[in-house]
Structure 1
Amino acid sequence: MNTSTSSSGGCGSGNCHCATAAAQSAGPVPSINGIALHAPGEQPDVQTLQELAYTELLRQQAVKTGLLQRSKGLSAPVLNDAERKVLEDMLDAAVTSPQPTEDECLRYYTANKAQFVVGQAVHVRHILFAVTPGVNVHALTVRAEKALIELLGKDVAPDRFAALAAELSNCPTSTQGGDLGWLQPHDCAPELANELFHQAPAGLGLGVHPRLIHTRFGFHIIRVLATRKGKQAPYEEVRERIAAQLTLQSRAKALHQYMSLLVGQSLVEGVHLERADSPLVQ
């Protein structure tokens, strides 16, 4: 009689090493100072794993400073709302960022005036060559460059851009010949906004842009159909906006430095985190 059975842990034989081999192939569980970040067998994505790691770093720092009780066991505990609030308050106390001075705000305004133009807009068509997981980026770039060279050639038919958009573009606007309509800076990805609005002296000119524009979505061929210049907002109107932006940037930098220092003081295994081995100047 056949007495073999199937099991999720192996083939069922007493001499089977399937489960052991599977556990070994999975590798050790990522940890902070010997405290495992998740249960064996779990495989969180990179972003989730980093979030778990930073939370555990903060929890251990809170334990070290007496703000939280030491947890029993060798796995990172799940924090309740009260414990998370302790971590937030600890960060607020440890990470300080000075308010920007009037001179700093004014210097930023002077160096970035194009960001503070009100009412500026462009009417744009585009062809998107999307960069997706597994795509051959080199081949995609060659394909996009070939289409761009054609559109920049002499005696191109007026409707050729729309035809290529319908044929090649990975954007839903391909059915409208790539027409994105009228755009203002906040309507598009920052990389595209920079090209369309923030380049001195006045962004892109009319017609097909002579090079590919690379954004987080892929490669774009851009054709500007019309523009509205808008007007420059005076410093007094945008001063508070600039101050808030600089404060946010300063806090983000200070937070990054604080977390990097905690990483540098800890034994981090199985997860990549930026580290600093000595205190950083804020």
Structure 2
Amino acid sequence: MPITVNDHEITDDEIAAELPGHDTLHLATMAVILRHLLRDEAHRLGLPATDEDSAIAALLAHEVTVPEADDASCRRHYAQNPARFTVGELVEAEHILFQVTERVPLPALRGLAEQTLADLLAEPAQFGEQARKLSNCPSATLGGNLGQLGRGDTVPEFERVLFSADQGAIVPRVVETRFGLHIVRVVHRIAGRLLPYEQVCTQIAEALQQASRDAAWRQYLRVLASRARITGIDLDIADSPLLQ
């Protein structure tokens, strides 16, 4: 079934032209649809423009009000998110990786990881030996030692555990990431330094302004989509790309 927006049929050529700016065909298709919605509305309102991009920019400037990020909001964000503005924080960590593969059923792998964790919580001194024997990570040869890690050095789900774990303790649960199942120990922690508010206030204001702009644009797009005649696709504005 073809995709149409206000009786205009979306062509393969339109989607192909949009694809280089997006990760998937679906996102490219969504972007084309949003462009048509915005362009049609700009035309309906008679906004002056020389091309599609200027028409969309004029429409959003005319129709969408984005609240400014005031100093109080920026200071509140700074106080509520100190980790985002801390530099130099490091942890020295060890882990045992149980890699998920097609050859090993996940329940059996999880059972092995949980039994190993229970054994290590009872006898922490065996961590290095168990890492050398069981871990599917190159760090196994070092007893599981990953060296010093800063924020951004690992995948987010692993990082959250590393920077919230107690120093010297084995994390008392099996940690799951996209790489598999982990048993984790933070050997040493180096405290970071909180940057002063004055040094990051512009960065915070820009981030809050962008978040406000994105929320306002999505709400406006929902309104346009509710008025439009769209067929051939379920349009979910929450998952749609935002045009820059």
Structure 2 equivalent of residue 54 of structure 1: 31
Residue 32 of structure 1 aligns with which residue?
A: 5
1:25-81, Cα deviation, whole Å (9 max, x unpaired) = xxx234434544455xx9x999422431332232243134328xxxxxxxxxxxxxx
Alignment of 1:17-96 (within 5 A): 28-39=1-12, 47-66=24-43, 82-84=51-53, 86-88=55-57, 90-91=59-60, 93-96=62-65
In the alignment, structure 1 residue 149 sits paired with structure 2 residue 118: yes
Q: How many corresponding residue pairs?
A: 229
1:181 aligns to 2:154 (yes or no):
no
Within the candidate set 170, 175, 179, 1:213 is matched to: 175
* Offset, 1:105: 1.0
1:181-226 alpha-carbon deviations (Å, 9 max, x no partner): 21111323333333333x4xxx532232112334455544322121
SS in structure 1 opposite 2:184?
strand
* Aligned residues of 2:64 and 2:217 also touching (Cα < 8 A): yes
CA shift in 2, pair 1:109/1:87, >3 Å = same
* Structure 1 residue 177: Cα displacement: 4.9
Contact 1:127 1:220 in 2 (8 A): yes
Answer yes or no: is the 8 Å Cα contact 1:122–1:226 preserved in 2.
Answer: yes
Change (3 A) 1:136 1:162: closer
Q: C-alpha root-mean-square deviation of aligned residues, in Å?
A: 4.0
Q: Is the 8 A contact 1:59 1:87 kept in 2?
A: no
TM norm structure 1: 0.63
| Identity across the alignment (%) | 31
| Distance in 2 separating the partners of 1:140 and 1:128 | 11
Select the structure of larger CA radius of gyration. Answer: 1
| Aligned counterpart, 1:102 | 71
- Aligned 8 A contact 2:5 2:36 in 1: no
* Deviation of the 1:103 alpha carbon: 0.8
| Separation in 2, partners of 1:129, 1:36 | 50
The equivalent residue for 1:74 is: none
User: 1:229 Cα deviation (Å)?
Assistant: 1.0
Indicate conservation of the 8 Å contact 1:148/1:211, yes or no.
yes
C-alpha spacing 1:60/1:118, structure 2 compared with 1 (3 Å): closer
Can you give the 5+ residue segments of structure 1 that lack an aligned partner in the other structure?
1-27, 68-81, 277-282
Contact 1:165-1:178 within 8 A present in 2 as well: no
Write the deviation string for residues 112-152 of structure 1: whole angstroms up to 9, x where unpaired.
2233222110012234456799x976665445434433332
SS in 2 for 1:126: strand
Query: What is aligned with 1:242?
Result: 204
Q: Runs of 5+ in structure 2 lacking a partner?
A: 45-50, 239-244
Q: Residue 264 of structure 1 aligns with which residue?
A: 226
State the Cα deviation string for residues 229-281 of structure 1 (Å, max 9, x = none): 122322222222222221222222222222222332234444333369xxxxx
Query: Would the aligned equivalents of 2:127 and 2:143 in 1 still touch at CA under 8 Å?
Result: no
Counterpart residue number, 1:222:
184
